[in-house]
Structure 1
């Protein structure tokens, strides 16, 4: 894979979508950029509870083929996203931040996930959340607390702390 500008990890979705449509960057390149950053940076942040590398790369290859074939592209076509671990995802562990559901694998996507995937988004994984989203700090018994990318000694916040930390860190 050719070198890709790391700054694209912080680009708005609209810019990425335009670059994909204009074939200046591929969905596979962008997805791999994010996955590489997750591998490198997330062990210190714990913003993800589950990373779906294989699913993401498979979706990115399909998205890239659609661009090559000249297919009609959805508004989120080829854009890597995270899904909060409170949202059900077909075939992907969904814990709700709780040990009670640490092994739960839903057999269907919730409506929100279904819609963003239908619009062409690529799921990178499930972001950390406090148990059932109920605490003001992003801590649960599934692992280490999610950390603030600007100051790892601090929390990343409550319910959507994993999502927020991943965005700030370009993950």
Structure 2
């Protein structure tokens, strides 16, 4: 079986659907890889391993009727720590949000879950998700996986770093002036900023007047 670390989300979705690999195997491998690389990178600030593995077990149990599966069934993903995630802290790198635990998902997170994807981590960003680097007073700064003395860019810093390091096959960032595109460029991965307004930003923290798009 092909090593799931470094495999694309599309490949993983097909492999899980075709029962070549289980969602539990895929999720567990990525969680273990995060555990290995994150002390060096500080890209992931919350990793809900228990709930992710529970969702993966459920995904494998439901993997009996291919027609009923979402396009990302059983595939792990990460989300920038400005997006609300039910039952999991959402701090946006701000001290005033250090105890914030939403009771609902941001729209884009909910859509990923409906597509069958499994959240395995929340990723670091500068305070309020605004800035060209990642340092914040709650979680510190994120490092570039190719050279820890260099910046991963911003503001979707943790997303770019952990995806480039193989800890997540895909993730959600936000972008108003390059905050998805620049970190991807710094870390050597592909990224997409959809047309403004195409993906709702409801449930994402934004500073007053913010115009960031998921």
**Structure 1 partner of 2:159:** 163
Q: TM-score, normalised by structure 2?
A: 0.75
**Structure 2 partner of 1:45:** 41
Residue 70 of structure 1 pairs with residue 65 of structure 2:
yes
**Structure 1 partner of 2:104:** 108
Report deviation, 1:57.
0.4
**Structure 2 partner of 1:136:** 132
Asked if the contact 2:16–2:22 (Cα under 8 Å) also holds between the matched residues in 1, the reply is yes
Choose between structure 1 and 2 for higher RCO, CA contacts under 8 A separated by at least 6 residues.
1
Greater strand content: 1
Greater helix content: 1
The runs of 5 or more residues in structure 1 that have no matched partner are none
**Structure 2 partner of 1:12:** 8
Q: 2:115 aligns with which of 93, 115, 119?
A: 119
The runs of 5 or more residues in structure 2 that have no matched partner are 168-214
**Structure 1 partner of 2:57:** 61
CA RMSD of aligned residues (A): 1.1
Query: Could you tell me how far apart the structure 2 residues matched to 1:31 and 1:157 are?
Result: 27
Query: Could you tell me how far apart the structure 2 residues matched to 1:99 and 1:9 are?
Result: 34
Report deviation, 1:144.
2.8
Query: Could you tell me how far apart the structure 2 residues matched to 1:92 and 1:161 are?
Result: 20
Report deviation, 1:143.
2.4
Query: Could you tell me how far apart the structure 1 residues matched to 2:11 and 2:104 are?
Result: 31
Q: Which whole-Å deviations, capped at 9, do the CAs of 1:69-89 have from their partners, x for residues lacking one?
A: 326110110110001100001
Residue 152 of structure 1 pairs with residue 148 of structure 2:
yes
Moved over 6 A (4+): none
Q: TM-score, normalised by structure 1?
A: 0.94
